[in-house]
Amino acid sequence: MKIFLLGGSRGLGKQILLQLLGNNYEVNCLVRNPNKLKINHKNLNLYKGDSTEIEDLRLAIKNSDYIINSLNVMRRNIIPWSSLSNSKTTISDSIKNIIELTQQKQIKHLVSVSAWGAGDSINEIPMWFKYLIKFSNIKYPYKDHDRQEEIIKNSNLNWTIIRPAALINFFDHPVKESFSNKHKVNLIISRKSLSKYIVNILGNKDYFNKTITVSKK
């Protein structure tokens, strides 16, 4: 089983990469700066490039069976009003390229990470968080998550969209699922727990063409 991972050089994506390698999956990973990753593993194939450039993606995807996307529109620091460090359309541009490249390939499953508050889940988040999204630079990744979700849902791939609650760097805990916003979720989820969850549902037909909000249980 070969998996193509986007966003594997930091944060959640790096946790997903560690989980995949720990489960002996072969992973193709496209990153802008391979030297920053500092992970050596026999099953890891690193490609230098930009996911918004379709030819870079074409080289890295190759004959992958599954795709995991954890890209985001990034800020220069954690302050909500800080300037962006990449394009406002990084996620959607990359997803457009993935869809174009994989329409004729036998990709078994695309799992893409969005955010709690994207799409119709905007009505599920606390009021203070709605204001934070509206009046800070957090709005840019949310707008792009909306775009990527629409693109994915209009594709002919087997897809799963994951909308995690606020990501934290500590704890390892069970995960609570809410399909189509049917259940109330908690405010946080750890990156480690989310990465395990994503790897566990990969290829599971029960999750095909589903949008799922996840949090700490």
Q: What is the mean pLDDT of residues 51-71?
A: 95
**Domain architecture of the chain: domains with CATH:** 2-216 (3.40.50.720)
Q: What is the pLDDT of residues 97-120, one digit of tens each?
A: 999 999 878 899 999 999 999 999
What pLDDT does residue 1 have? 87
Q: What is the mean pLDDT of residues 78-99?
A: 96
Q: What is the mean pLDDT of residues 166-179?
A: 95
Split at pLDDT 50, 70, 90, the class of 125 is very high
Q: What is the mean pLDDT of residues 122-148?
A: 96
Residues 6+ apart with CB under 8 A from 186: 165, 176, 215, 216, 217
DSSP 120-152: GGGGTS-HHHHHHHHHSTTHHHHHHHHHHHHHH
What pLDDT does residue 183 have? 85
What pLDDT does residue 182 have? 80
Q: What is the pLDDT of residues 3-49, one digit of tens each?
A: 999 999 999 999 999 999 999 999 999 999 988 888 999 999 999 99
Across the chain, what does the average pLDDT equal? Answer: 95
Given a cut of 90, is residue 132 above it in pLDDT?
Answer: yes
**Axis-axis angle for helices 90-102, 139-153 (nearest 10):** 20
Closest CA to 96 of 143, 48, 144, 142: 144
- Residue 102 corresponds to which tokens in the numbers above? 């994989």
What pLDDT does residue 35 have? 87
Measured in degrees and rounded to the nearest 5, phi and psi for residue 10 equal: -160, 165
Q: Judge residue 127's burial from the number of C-beta atoms within 10 Å of its C-beta, 0-12 exposed, 13-18 middle, 19 or more buried.
A: exposed
Question: For residues 181 and 184, what is the distance between their CA atoms, to the nearest angstrom?
Answer: 7
pLDDT above 90 coverage of the chain, percent:
89
Instruction: Note the pTM of the prediction, 2 decimals.
Output: 0.95
What pLDDT does residue 104 have? 75
What pLDDT does residue 51 have? 96
